[in-house]
Chains A and B, each alone.
Chain A
């Protein structure tokens, strides 16, 4: 009794509430039931919009206004319409998909090239004013993209790049590179400098150091950032919609926005397009998920 009250004074004894009066096995069942119920709520919350996308995509165009949980006459003909470009809104579907792919891959290449060189110079070669560069990069990372859209549009027009895929590519690369440099620097700190020293003793030049030591060891971070840049560019709407004007120069997100210009948009086709467009990035994300989580959270836990 004395020990108990002493423990209470120290504030370590659990407060005896109603919950503790419930017998142990009953408590376990209730707890498990709670976990399952919570899980079901999470499942519905997560899946509902995606499920909705999927079922609308298999609903015939004429039934799209039914608002049903399951379509009366499920069909795959919407996918056929999209893939064979058999609708006014989908005339340029394949070309737009190609544009999206071009911008995504080009952004990824530029970001990996520019950011890996910069992070190598800053953290391995200890370049002069490296910390200034890295802080300005961090500053850029913290400017919301949507806020710079207006002047960016004008500047691209001055550069004569308006309505070219390069405009969108440069925009995306500009906004992905700062984060890439930040992650690369965090990751680079985990690679021992002895490796560089050993290579230097063997007479490696800085470029050999970059190519033969730095890049191979940075592989996990490169995969994470490559995927990040690729998905950022693939998914971008605002800049694509501002910088690209005609249909054959657009990317898929802009094309999906065009659907909304009419009052009776063909939602079944829009959702079929949405599914086709969403599958590659989702598959990519899940296949490199391991790298993504560790890459994204590399700096986070230290912050």
Chain B
């Protein structure tokens, strides 16, 4: 019996293999060539080269001895912790607001996308000038309307980092609001209907209907946003340039500072490599969350 089954399996297997290798599969392989070429030339090679540049343990010892680096780690933590969570929390609230069917709110939602639609460099530079303590519009208005001496937005290191976080949130809030709105729209309206008939309050509707339905999306968004925020170079570099006194760097800008301003390539790479303990688990979880279902 067993021998018989083995025999049939053996008889079928090569046939199936032959049947499977069709001209279509040949074409499938050929059409993948452009992407695989790009992947090896511009992903594998640079990443491998980066790992090779960052192999020297001495760079890491020097990093840890550099007070600028230690400050940068705290800044990065604050940038991620506040930037990501505040942004997504606001997006959660705004997504509820923009689900309203009122006509003027729909118009407002179109305008609300502007920060996302407009290139980031011009708007960051606009922020930079607007926040100038002596000549900027913000402090000018504070003085003209309220006779208040405005704070030193980009001169005080804490306020400067806060300003950078604000700029980051301003830019990316519309995107995440759209994502969470899509999540909310996917919830069947019957659920709300049923909750309403049972006399659920708004808080209860959120807690028992909306949140369980979009929780997964919210978590995925938080993880994805953490990675992207980690890579946000522009919001810091073009607003504060890492200053004053190199006190507002994040890892992305500090790496570039080491490599190109101080001409220490391996220190620059080492700086970036120290983000791997956060980055690798995030990437691992996200690949399972985003890639798993595609098959």
The residues of A with any CB-CB pair to B shorter than 8 Å are 7, 10-15, 35, 38-39, 42-43, 45-50, 52-53, 55-56, 64-69, 113-115, 117-118, 120-122, 125-128, 130-131, 133-140, 142-155, 159, 170-171, 173-174, 177, 181-182, 185-186, 189, 206-207, 210, 231, 234-235, 237-238, 242, 253, 256-257, 259-260, 267, 270-271, 274-275, 277-278, 281-282, 285-286, 289, 293, 296-297, 299-303
Contact = CB atoms under 8 A, between A and B. Distances in A.
Interface of B: 23-25, 27-32, 34-36, 38-39, 41-43, 45-47, 49-50, 53, 94, 97, 100, 102, 104-105, 108, 110-123, 125-127, 129-130, 132, 134-141, 144, 170, 175, 178-179, 182-183, 186, 198-201, 204, 216-217, 220-221, 227-228, 230-234, 237-238, 241, 252, 255-256, 259-260, 265, 268-269, 272, 275, 279, 282-283, 286-287, 289-291, 293-295
Nearest to B230: A144
B199 A12 contact: yes
Given A14-B201, A118-B34, A235 B119 contact: yes
Contact of B233 (A138, A146, A151, A278): A146
Given A52-B137, A140-B43, 19 more contacts: A46-B115, A67-B136, A121-B28, A133-B36, A138-B290, A149-B233, A149-B256, A151-B49, A153-B259, A174-B42, A234-B119, A235-B121, A259-B125, A260-B125, A260-B238, A275-B122, A278-B118, A285-B113, A297-B179
Contacts, number: 305
Given A52-B137, A139-B287, A151-B50, A289 B113 contact: yes
A204 B142 CA distance: 69
B25 to A, nearest CB: 6
Top 5 closest pairs, chain A to chain B, by CB: A144-B231, A67-B140, A127-B28, A274-B122, A14-B201
Nearest to A68: B140
A150 B51 CA distance: 11
Given A150-B255, A177-B35, A134 B291 contact: yes
B108 A282 contact: no
A292 to B, nearest CB: 9
Contacts of B183: 300-301
A173 B217 CA distance: 28
A303 B24 contact: no
Contacts of B34: 113-114, 117-118
B236 to A, nearest CB: 10
A282 B117 contact: yes
6 contacts: A13-B199, A14-B200, A182-B294, A271-B125, A274-B122, A296-B178
A253 B178 contact: no
B140 A253 contact: no
A143 B252 CA distance: 12
B255 A302 contact: no
Contact of B31 (A117, A145, A151): A117
Contact of A66 (B50, B140, B283, B290): B140
B125 A297 contact: no
A114 B47 contact: no
Q: Which of B112, B138, B228 has the most CB of A within 10 A?
A: B112
B272 A238 contact: no
